[in-house]
Amino acid sequence: MASSDEPRPARRGPARAVVIAVAGIALIAFASVASTGLLPARDRLVVIGDSLSTGFGTSAEESWPVLLARAEEAGPGRLEVVNAAENGSGYVAPGDEGDTFGTEVDQFVNEDTKVVLFFGSDNDFGNPPSQITEAATTAFQAARAKAAPDARLIVVGPPSYTFPADSELTSIRDALRTAADRTGSDFVDPIAEDWIAGHADELIGPDGEHPTSAGHERLAQLLEEVLAR
């Protein structure tokens, strides 16, 4: 991950195709069985994020939300994973289609949503921490208002690819922790837990920014563990 005084690569690519692909995998996999009445309707897990969650740099089919959906298909909880992530987006920064994490919430979280999982975003580099906190607080409050009454909100901060982490990255992390505390959301710190920094050569692709297939596998495993906490 580049230091704060170096230009950062933009997270770009076909974002909404990923939403269709991930949601489609989750929905199609159960369509024939659910129609028989053998399975109850499933609760939704909505992923709010950026290109770390769309499969940019590899493919949508290899992205961690798809891998998580496959794990949920085999697990007892049977959550329907819906990926609302958009390349380039953040809490403040608009993505390729003009959406922020807040508008992703508005479009995809509904009363059937039992888990809203926010992941990222270092696309908010350059914005004041107070602005990030306010935007995140608004997004978390909107998710809680739109989701099921007992829904769980999980806020995963941006990961670092180096040790020590860039100071602006930790500022974003701290701003999100404040917003999570304000709204009673679960906060997860990939920097403190060293999700990637010690393994970046294997987990991050040649652009220095986006996960490899192995990186998405690791993220899927880690986020399964987060859901189980």
Residue 216 appears among annotated catalytic residues: no
Active-site residue among 53, 124, 166, 210?
Answer: 210
Q: Is residue 51 flagged as an active site residue? A: yes
Q: How many CB atoms lie within 10 A of CB 206?
A: 8
Catalytic: 207?
A: yes
Closest CA to 49 of 197, 193, 161, 176: 176
- How far is C-alpha 27 from the geometric centre of its chain's CA atoms? 19
Alpha-carbon gap, residue 138 to 164, rounded angstroms: 30
Q: Quick count: other Cβ atoms within 10 Å of Cβ 212?
A: 17
Helices (H), 82-198: 101-108, 129-146, 167-183
Residue among 56, 81, 158, 141 at smallest CA distance from 105: 141
Q: Work out the end-to-end distance of the chain between its first and last CA atoms, rounded to an integer number of angstroms.
A: 28
CA distances 190 to 41, 120, 125, 143, Å, are 32, 10, 17, 22
Active-site residue identified among 51, 63, 89, 160: 51
Spatial CA neighbour of 110 closest among 41, 186, 33 = 41
Active site residues: 51, 207, 210
